[in-house]
A = this chain, B = another copy of it.
C-alpha cells in the first residue's frame, strides 16, 4: 500500500495509519495481557507495541512486547506501562509526522483524534516512503519541473514535455527583461564592446552565489533546522559571507579584466562583481523565506529562477557602473 501513495503535499497521518493494532485495558494483569496478545497476534503483522486505553478508548499508555514479556505476571498493565508517550493527531501533515519519528527514534506512534481516543498506528516503514517522496518533491521543484508522480524512468515523452515546458517558458519571458536591460545600455556597449566579454561571467556569478544560498536555505527549512523567524539572523550572516565571497571573486575577475581590457575595465568588473555577488546572495537567501511567508513551498526558489532574477539585476548593476565609471 505504502508504495502506491500519491505524492501530495497535504496528506495527513490519517491516510498513512494502519488499523492493525492490539489494545490492552489498564486494569489487565500481565498474565491476562499475554493471553490477549497470544490470541490476537496471529491475525496481525507488525505488532511491536501494545496500546493501553481506558473504557472510553482514551489512550493512556504504551508497552513494548519486550517489556510485557519481561514483566512479572501478576503486575497490572497500569503499573508497568509508559505513561509519557508521543501521539500524532489524525490530521497532522505526514511531513510533520516524519519529523516526530526522526526526533524520537520510535518504530511506531499511535494516532489519536482530538479527544485523545486511539484510532490507529503509524509505522516507521511508511515514514521512510514519506521522507523519500518529500525529498523527491523538493528536488523536482528545484529542477524546476511540475510534480512527476510516477518516477522518471517510466515517464512518457509527453509527460516529461508537459512537466518541463511550463517553467522553461516562464523563464524565457523573465529573461526578456535582461534583454531589455541590455537594450537600454546599447550605447555603452557599442562604445565599449569589451564589456560583453565579461557579461556571462558577471551575471552568472550572482546567480551562482544566489543558488548556493537558496539551496542551503531550502534544505535547512525542509528538515526544520531553520524557521521563518530566523530570517534576520540568516540575513545578517549572509551579508558578511557575501561581502567576503564578492571580494575574493572580484580579485579573480580583476586579473582577467586587466588582460582583456586594461585598468578601467578591471575596476568596473571588480566593483560589479562585489555588488552582484552581494545582491545575488541576498536574493537567493531571502526568496525561500518569502515563498514560505506566501505559503508557497520554499523549494520553488530553484537555481534557474534565482539565476534569471540575478541576471536581470546583474545586467543593470554592470552597465550602470560601466556607464558611470567610463564617462568619468
Q: Chain A interface (Cβ within 8 Å of chain B)?
A: 2, 34, 37-38, 41-42, 44-48, 64-67, 69-70, 98, 101-102, 105-107, 123-129, 131-132, 135-136, 138-140, 142-145, 148, 151-153, 157, 160-161, 164-165, 167-169, 171-173, 175-176, 178-180, 182-183, 186, 189-190, 193, 196-201, 203-205, 207-209, 211-212, 215-220, 223, 225-226, 230, 234, 237, 240-241, 244-245, 248-249, 252-253, 256, 260, 277, 302-304, 307-308, 311, 315
B225 & A152 in contact (Cβ 8 Å cutoff): yes
In the assembled complex, the Cα of A64 lies from the Cα of B107 at a distance in Å of: 14
**Nearest CB in chain B: distance from A142 CB, A:** 6
- Please, which residues of chain B bring their CB within 8 A of the CB of A197? 179-180, 182-183
A176 & B256 in contact (Cβ 8 Å cutoff): yes
Residue of B at shortest CB range from A306? B303
10 contacts between A and B (CB under 8 A): A37-B66, A131-B131, A145-B215, A148-B216, A151-B220, A165-B248, A165-B249, A171-B205, A180-B197, A196-B196
Interface centre among A142, A204, A211 (most CB of B within 10 A): A204
In the assembled complex, the Cα of A209 lies from the Cα of B183 at a distance in Å of: 25
A42 & B65 in contact (Cβ 8 Å cutoff): no
B38 & A69 in contact (Cβ 8 Å cutoff): yes
Interface centre among A34, A65, A205, A315 (most CB of B within 10 A): A65
In the assembled complex, the Cα of A41 lies from the Cα of B55 at a distance in Å of: 30
**CB-contact partner of A136 in B140, B169, B223, B241, under 8 A:** B223
Residue of B at shortest CB range from A218? B139
A175 & B204 in contact (Cβ 8 Å cutoff): yes
B160 & A241 in contact (Cβ 8 Å cutoff): yes
A216 & B128 in contact (Cβ 8 Å cutoff): no
B200 & A167 in contact (Cβ 8 Å cutoff): no
- Please, which residues of chain B bring their CB within 8 A of the CB of A241? 157, 160-161, 164
Interface centre among A69, A107, A209, A237 (most CB of B within 10 A): A69
A260 & B183 in contact (Cβ 8 Å cutoff): yes
- Please, which residues of chain B bring their CB within 8 A of the CB of A157? 237, 240-241, 244
- Please, which residues of chain B bring their CB within 8 A of the CB of A143? 211-212, 215-216
**CB-contact partner of A65 in B66, B144, B190, under 8 A:** B66
Interface centre among A65, A172, A178 (most CB of B within 10 A): A172
B212 & A164 in contact (Cβ 8 Å cutoff): yes
